[in-house]
Structure 1
Amino acid sequence: MGKRARRKGIEPDDSVRELAGLGPAAAGKAEPAVTDPADDTVALEPDGRLREVSLLVEEVDYVYQLYRWIILTGSVPKAQEWLKKEPWPHPDYVIDVFGSWEKFLAHAHVTTSPLLARLRAADAAEKDVAAGRKQVEKELARVEDLRRQVQTARLAREAAEAARGDERSRADRLQRALDAAETRAAAAEARLHERTAALDAAAAAGPDTAADERAAALADELDAVRAHREELLRQAEELREQAVQDAKTINRLSTVLAEQGDAGASAEGADASGGPDAGADPPATVAEAVERAAASAQALRFTDDAFTSAADSPYRRPAEILETLRTLDELAVLHADPDGFGRSLTQAATERGLTYKHDVSETARSRHPHEYSTTVDGHRVDLGPHVALGSGSGAGFIARIYLHVADGSGDVPRGMYVGHVGRHLPDTTT
């Protein structure tokens, strides 16, 4: 109807003309009717009300199409959408009638429609529900991951406890062997003393080659027994150190297991309340562990050599490095007090479960002076105090953290400085 109808060559019907107040004679040609030239009657002019009625009909038609679109699609159309869809009026025709697309929508009272407002609110609520569902699914996946981590930590703790039991049994066996060796050594020494006394007496009476040979054999046996005892003592000491490391590992795993259990419980509570998780993943490398420790440190300071050595370290348990550095930061806070804190750093570190050595040997320092030094604020300082990590052999299983502990009397301020993290520095055994 309207412009769209006229452009297709369709004329308004008689009813429209009657609405405009025209008689049947106006339904013919578009040109004005003329009388006989001989007649003095003036020619009829087109009535302007026909154009007005046509515009009104076009407005009604376009508004009807607008409401129809809203009912079918549930949304307010844009001009481009009617441009692409053939059954709908061309947007240019609508703009010709109403002046603009916005005036067209305002004329139909679409912008203030409470029905569309409720529809938009329903769409927003549906999006919120979908987002909440995704968040719940994400939290459930995270809780499941935490449960797997807890299970892994529990299995690791059980394996460590089993290994500790095996090491304890082995230590008991070695202790029994050591006691037996000491008994044999004491008996051999007693026999040697007896033989020596007998030989002294025989020597006074005259030479005896057979007795000398027996004495030499007994001395050799005694030396062998002593060497065996020394070996057993060394093995027993190693087993004791290994047992201490295993105990620390089990305690650490128990702590991690408890923390992850609490995190899992917190995550389940967060699922119910929709709260976010504040936890962080463990570091993947020693370098990442050092960076995270340096970022959160209160008093512990890190040199450039600490980051360089950490980047070169292949140690397989970077989370242990991060935990140890945070413990050292606690010690650095205590050490920052010039009046002291009631005990030595070695004692405080041992109480916190660290294998802390207050210095390295002078032989190692004299043989490798460059290795056991670092730079702090442009000043060269020595490294000595260190923490031992891991057990076994190889840089992937053992690590060291070397420190410089300044009392404030030298070139650098009082504090604890990390100079090396990672590989074991060379000493008298390497």
Structure 2
Amino acid sequence: MAKKKTARPTRPQKSAEPTTAQLRKEYYARRAAEQALDELGLRMDERPAPRGDAHWWAGTRDALDRLEIMHACWRFTGMAGYAPEPEDFDPDSGWPTAEEVEAVFGSWDKMLDESGIDDSIFGVVMEKALAAHEQLGARERELELRAGKLEAEAKKIPELRRREEVARAKRDEADDARAAAEAERDGLTRDRDAALSKVEALTAEVAELRAAAAARDEAPPAETELLEEMERTLTAAAATEEARDDLHERMERLRTEREQDRRAIAELTQLLARVDAEGAEAPDGTVVDAVEAPPATVLEAVERAAAESRHLVFAPKAFETASESPFRRPGLVLRTLRGLDALAARYAEGDMGKSLGQAAAEHGITQWKPDIAETTRKRYEDDYSFFLNGPGTPRLWVGPHIGLGSGSGAQFIARIYLHVSDGNDPDVPRGIYVAVVGRHLPDTTT
């Protein structure tokens, strides 16, 4: 049920002019007061009018004005980030005018001195903040330039790889042609030697026939046939010599082309190694210097990564397998291991909110494989297991692995096999462990 409202009493309205009764009442009250003062010996008309202290009031107003202006100065500095100038105090925006400041303090600079704002920690903080901002801007521009350079270098990689493949194909073709030329040369040499032996035998036989004919003083019919056979053999031997010379010239050309291809492949391989090593992230998140010399071997790449790693753990087997790897791009191995170290740092902190493969892609690791088939692991136990710190320490199994390179053969492709521990085993702390670096381990397809 709704609550019933009660009406408020109305107040009596005052009349515009006092009534006669009111005036009479006020008159008698005033007369009574005057009589009471007369009895006390006090007459109001004989006392001087009260006066105030103008100097005290002026000082108070001056102090209040000074406080108000200094408060405005500090408030402006706090909002704008710098001490105000005379033109900054706009009365339309609620600030005192420069004339009011000069009237109270004498000058603008004196007001700033008395406010103490120039010597406050606020100014020092602002200067340091501006200096830090300028340094950050310079660092950002430097990183943008470096990123642009790395992007430009990355765009060159496909062309460099194409040129390397072309040079490698030409070298292989030249090797095949050289081998065929050498086989042909050896065949012609054998034919030449056989022809020379036959010529010597025919020459000896002709000499014998001539000697016999001279003794009988007659020319045997067989001598003419032998001479003709010898001429044919000499002609064939001369043709063989000419063919052999041609083969020598071809072999020299092929040897020269092969040497040029070899130098081109070496230059392209070194350039790819530098590109592989550039742009990598160090464990603290900084960019590795682009002028760093690339590693010469896979073992050197693993040793360098292990020396600078802060979170990634390397098993002894990783160094053993790396020493046997003929992979031609050790710079790519180093860059991938550095990315894995950054990934291991994130994994050690706890749940990343995504899979390891997704997090690895953020560090430039794209060919991530989550695990090994169980049948493969059981069939090749020794290959897919390792000791954490040598015999007598925990034996672990590899699972996730990373593919490197493209093509076929251990010179062009490599693998990095890992063990990922969640920390449930007290003997194996949470982290990522590098078990094998180098050749593709055997599986059901090999």
Q: TM-score, normalised by structure 2?
A: 0.40
Q: TM-score, normalised by structure 1?
A: 0.41
